[in-house]
Amino acid sequence: MFDKVLIANRGEIALRVVRACQELGIQAVAVYSDADSEALHVRHADEIYHLGPPPAKKSYLNVEALLQAAKETGADAIHPGYGFLAENAAFAKAVTDAGLAFIGPSAEAIDKMGNKSAARRIAEDADVPVVPGSDDVGSADEAVSTAAEIGYPVMVKAAAGGGGRGIRVAENKEELRKAVQVAKREAESAFGDGTLYLEKFLANPRHVEVQVMADHHGGAIHLFERECSMQRRHQKVLEEAPSPGISAEVREKMCEAAVRLAKNADYANAGTVEFLVEDDEFYFIEMNTRIQVEHPVTEMLTGVDLVKEQILIAAGEPLSVAQDEVPFVGHAMEFRINAEDPDNDFMPSPGEITFLEVPGGPGVRVDSAIYQGYKIPPFYDSMVGKLIVWALTREEAINRARRALKEYRLEGINTTIPLHLRLLDDKVFLSGDYHTGYLEELLKEG
């Protein structure tokens, strides 16, 4: 087992990993920028290390500084959290080249599954259904030729993409030519890689992902699915499990396909296999090679601590549970609390938290790294916390979430709490029959 783990991240995920390490008897090292000197992950860690100025490139994305931090603190492993360098194959390789353990999949697995067109080929080899589409397209002319075979509308997607960036929809060849140019520029700016590919655009699909976990001894399991269709601009707003829109038969087939894919990719550690579901058909779209923001949904549903499992696997331990030992009880939901103004086109709302009162009670969990008096910096992601609830039924979970959100008093900044309360009274959401485009439609209505 590791003696000391450095967490190459900030905010609530850094605090989440700090706590997991401490429960395993491992010393946790927090890193921080000037903007995060008073952050909770810094306060609760066993040891801290200053990285540099607030801009991420000079702090949380500074590979040299992170490796130096690990060396000077005597850490023997690095946990990347999510975001920043979590899915950066070069960082994972640099960590292992430095003689440290990377708490995540191998650089080779990140590289294979991080390129979405390559991941499609791996899925096809594993007999996992994929959305009709193409391999890499090198030009607008090639895209137009390929789209003629697939059929319009099509999605132009960045092969190295993520977070909804580098995606455009085209209804005809004129729109496609423009979409290729825009998506290529956006992908080059965001990811340093302008490679694109095409997928058939599904009109009203659900976005459902399967949590997988694999060890270095050939073991691989799934921990069921999460429904992620409530999205704005391809960014998830809330998640729930089990999905209210798929049958038990589809669930079983999809989860088995996710495990098959992980095995075919020689994958080890935590990963999420993402699918689009339309009617009773599901299609692989990508694999996230890291722990997800919404991992607490699965933890509440199954009782398995995914972050501890990550650490144990990286230390060479086998999976702590077999497939038939994974519980599947009740219903869980996660609500992302962002420092944004839903009434002003979701403008970021950094600033000081003047009053904070978090909800509690049975089946309520709050993952956050804020406190009263804390000043949310303007340099990073706007998410300041996550409210997670669990109950025996979906209806009970919704009622519990509504009560908890009303208890959640966070003053001094604007947040997305009012949006979540609106959704919990929305007839379509309550029915469970919603799709990835539904929230955008609802917001347009005002």
Read off the pLDDT of residues 312-348 as tens digits, 9 standing for 90 and up: 999 999 999 999 999 999 999 999 999 999 999 999 9
Q: What are phi and psi of 119, to 5 degrees?
A: -65, -35
Q: Render each residue's pLDDT in the chain as its tens digit; 446 residues.
A: 999 999 999 999 999 999 999 999 999 999 999 999 999 999 999 999 999 999 999 999 999 999 999 999 999 999 999 999 999 999 999 999 999 999 999 999 999 998 877 898 999 999 999 988 887 888 999 999 999 999 999 999 988 876 667 889 999 999 999 999 999 998 888 888 889 999 889 989 999 999 999 999 999 999 999 999 999 988 999 999 999 999 999 999 999 999 999 999 999 999 999 999 998 999 999 999 999 999 999 999 999 999 999 999 999 999 999 999 999 999 999 999 999 999 999 999 999 999 999 999 999 999 999 999 999 999 999 999 999 999 999 999 999 999 999 999 999 999 999 999 999 999 999 999 999 999 999 999 87
DSSP, collapsed to helix, strand or coil, labels residue 189 as helix
| Max intra-chain CA distance, the chain | 59
Q: 3-state secondary structure string, 262-306?
A: HHHCCCCEEEEEEEEEECCEEEEEEEECCCCCCHHHHHHHHCCCH
Distance CA 282, CA 275 (A): 6
CB-side exposure of 127: number of CA atoms within 13 Å? 3
Comparing C-alpha atoms, which of 408, 328, 417 is closest to residue 365? Answer: 408
- To 5 degrees, how large is the angle CA 310–CA 313–CA 315? 110
Q: How far apart are the first and last CA of the chain?
A: 53
Q: Which two tokens stand for residue 274?
A: 């993402």
Tell me the pLDDT tens digit for each residue of 97-142. 999 999 999 999 999 998 877 898 999 999 999 988 887 888 999 9
Instruction: Point out the catalytic residue in the list 260, 290, 394, 400.
Output: 290
Can you list the domains of the chain with their CATH numbers?
4-103 (3.40.50.20), 132-200 (3.30.1490.20), 206-445 (3.30.470.20)
Q: Which two tokens stand for residue 308?
A: 């501890």
Distance CA 54, CA 58 (A): 7
Q: Which two tokens stand for residue 199?
A: 């997928």
Q: Is residue 290 annotated as part of the catalytic site, yes or no?
A: yes
**229 near 207, Cβ under 8 Å?**
yes
**53 near 47, Cβ under 8 Å?**
no
**400 near 364, Cβ under 8 Å?**
yes
Q: Tell me, what amino acid is at 350?
A: P
Comparing C-alpha atoms, which of 130, 128, 132 is closest to residue 148? Answer: 132
Rounded to the nearest 10 degrees, what angle do helices 11-23 and 306-314 cross at?
70
SS3 content of the chain, % helix, strand, coil (to 5): 35, 30, 35
DSSP, collapsed to helix, strand or coil, labels residue 445 as helix
Locus of tokens 């966070």: 410
Q: What are phi and psi of 425, to 5 degrees?
A: -110, 5
**112 near 289, Cβ under 8 Å?**
no
Distance CA 80, CA 68 (A): 15
Q: What are phi and psi of 406, to 5 degrees?
A: -70, -30
Q: Which two tokens stand for residue 197?
A: 């590919």
Distance CA 73, CA 70 (A): 5
DSSP assignment letter at 324: G
pLDDT at 162: 67
Tell me the pLDDT tens digit for each residue of 166-202. 889 999 999 999 999 999 998 888 888 889 999 889 9
